[in-house]
Amino acid sequence: MDIYASDEEKAEEIKQWWRDNGRSVIAGIVIGAVAVFGGRYWLNHQQVQSENASIIYQQSTAYLSQNDADAAQAASQELMQNYASTPYAVFAAMQMAESAAKSGELSAAEDYLYWVIEHAELNSHKELATLRLARLKFSQGDNSAALDMVASSESTAFRSLFAELEGDIKLAMGDRSAAYAAYQTAVLSLAAGEPRQRLLQMKMDDVASHEG
């Protein structure tokens, strides 16, 4: 049975529904439209940001290959300040750290690596920067700081590399037993057949031959 008694009542019911609910319906449509267009704007903005960052990163790489350290630094700083949310800023900071370390500018290299640790979105980038910073500390004789960084790592992917570095540090400190254990951990963390197994085995054999 029709719940409306007449066409007039149907029309009046519809009019009343619009009077009661029209504003909320229109508001919902407006909000939905804003969300759609806002989402498109955000995606377009992100794409533009990524493309611009890519161009600046390529420029910084070219400057480094031309030994123009000042221009490379300026391009990298622009990425780190204005495009920090893109991976290109991380790539630039990492290559600047490597370049600075090779030039003996160890303090600058550390600053770049600390920046990556603090700003990178991917844990793999943070872990790689931590590993390189630990190596840098070790090369400067700061064994305590290097070991702290090794201990801070929770990465499975980098476990073997961190363990090997721990072994190198412990060996430099004269603790051959701890060095051997660390190298052993490094070996066990590798998949079978990886080339680094031979190097690690050589380190273990060398430590064992000098035991006692």
For the segment 26-77, what is each residue's pLDDT rounded down to a tens digit?
A: 656 556 555 555 556 445 656 667 788 889 989 999 999 999 999 999 999 9
Q: What is the pLDDT of residue 35?
A: 53
Question: Which CATH architecture best describes the domain 20-121?
Answer: Alpha Horseshoe (1.25)
Tell me the three-class secondary structure of 99-161, residue by residue.
Answer: HHHHCCCHHHHHHHHHHHHHHCCCHHHHHHHHHHHHHHHHHCCCHHHHHHHHHHCCCCCCHHH
Predicted TM-score of the model (pTM)? 0.76
Average pLDDT of the residues in 4-25 = 54
Residue ranges per structural domain of the chain: 20-121, 143-212
5 or 114, which is more confident? 114
Q: Does the pLDDT at position 125 exceed 50?
A: yes
